[in-house]
Amino acid sequence: MVNHTSSLNKSLKASPQQDKKSVTVHDVARVAGVSKSTVSLVLRGSEKASAKAKDKVLKAIEETGYVYNRDAAAMRSKSSDLVAIVINDLTNPYSAKLAVALEKHVRQLGLMATLVNTSEDVETQTQIVAKLKEYRVKAFIICPAPNTEAQWLEELQTMQTQVVSIMRQVSGSTIPCVLPDNEKGVYTATKALIKRGHKQIAFIGGDDAISDYHQRLLGFNNAINEHKDVSSWVFNSATNRQGGRLAMSMCLEKVPSIESVMCFNDIVAYGVMEYLAEQSIKPGHDIGVIGFDDLDDSKLMSVPLSTVKIDADDIAKAVCEILKGDKPESLKQVPVSLIERSS
């Protein structure tokens, strides 16, 4: 039997000036005593390679000085190990929290994540994604900007590139989507307000250009419609602190007797609570306030904010299950829970 390992080692040692790039996957396979396909699996970070095989291959790579040319590999496979996380608004604390969770779980798959921000602008989103396609990304994880078209999203997915939308649905698209159970979350929160005896309730924040607004408003209306003695109002606004302040101002002007407000998100709720405080109205005592997201600062407010919790880690795990092919369904709704605090 010919000892391929020792033969190759002698060859390498006999050529000290040899360029390490001349060492091939076949050489690594011979030194490791495994097949070329096993070496490829290890290089790609595949879970299909056993721990024992991985150890052999890594030792062989160190011994031979093999350098993995990722650009060449991407050219051959028509994709890379790069996953693009396309976030709609990184100024939103929840979006930043979600991006961190996604990056962590993508890295655990043996892939590299890159993060970009579209600032809620569909043209910026189109330009950024077009540029990223030049790098043959393996997957796009996208929180779609308002007015994203289904056809654009569908055409983005190819045999080499996966696409998963998060937090928002694009009407008419069959692309896999992961989002929180918006409808149930707001329904549960609104029912909690009604259970406390509140009869005049407003929904504050958001606009009809995004799917999560419609889902949350539907949950609000469903809860209200179950009680004939409860009156409701809707005040649209930007989904930020200033939007919350303006919407609460409009609400108090139109309905001075309002008893509680269900806010589109926690940031809107912060603006609501600030405005109420300026009017000497105490959240939770004079007017009930509930948010949506459960940001880290929500429990630290002067009056701790009641909110609907979305676990960013659960969203990220569900996305990565789709990337691995473990969960092929087109829609995954992640459970949410009501966190009741002083507000």
For residue 72, give the CATH number of its domain.
1.10.260.40
Same domain, 223 and 281: yes
CATH number, domain with residue 200: 3.40.50.2300
Three-state SS annotation for the chain: CCCHHHHHHHHHHCCCCCCHHHCCHHHHHHHHCCCHHHHHHHHCCCCCCCHHHHHHHHHHHHHHCCCCCHHHHHHHHCCCCEEEEEECCCCCHHHHHHHHHHHHHHHHCCCEEEEEECCCCHHHHHHHHHHHHCCCCCEEEECCCCCCCHHHHHHHCCCCCEEEEECCCCCCCCCCEEEECHHHHHHHHHHHHHHCCCCEEEEECECCCCHHHHHHHHHHHHHHHCCCCCEEEEECECCCHHHHHHHHHHHHHHCCCCCEEEECCHHHHHHHHHHHHHCCCCECCCEEEEEEECCHHHHHCCCCCEEEECCHHHHHHHHHHHHHCCCCCCEEEECCEEECCCC
- Residue 18 belongs to some domain of the structure: no
Whether pLDDT at 146 is above 80: yes
pTM for the predicted model, two decimal places: 0.77
Higher pLDDT, 4 or 131: 131
> With 60 as the cut, is the pLDDT of residue 10 above it?
no
2 inside domain: no
Domain hosting 114: range is 82-175
68 within a domain of the structure (yes/no): yes
pLDDT of residue 11: 41
pLDDT tens digits, 163-185 = 999 999 999 999 999 999 999 99
Q: Which of 114, 142, 175 is the last residue of a domain?
A: 175
Domain boundary among the residues 41, 76, 111 is at 76
Is 265 found in the same domain as 292?
yes
Among the ranges given (42-51, 66-75, 116-125), the one the predictor scored with the smallest mean pLDDT: 66-75
User: 259 and 223, same structural domain?
Assistant: yes
Is 209 domain-assigned?
yes
The pLDDT tens digits of the residues spanning 232-262 come to 999 999 999 999 999 999 999 999 999 999 9
In a domain, 10, yes or no: no
Question: Within a domain: residue 206?
Answer: yes
Give the residue from 124, 146, 175 where a domain finishes: 175
120 within a domain of the structure (yes/no): yes
In this prediction, what percent of the chain has a pLDDT beyond 90? Answer: 71
Same domain as 245, residue 302: yes
Q: Report pLDDT for 12.
A: 43
- The mean predicted confidence, pLDDT, of the chain is 89
Do 303 and 201 have their domain in common? yes
Q: pLDDT digits over 34-68, tens only?
A: 888 888 778 766 667 888 888 888 888 888 887 76
Looking at the structure of the chain, the number of domains it has is: 3
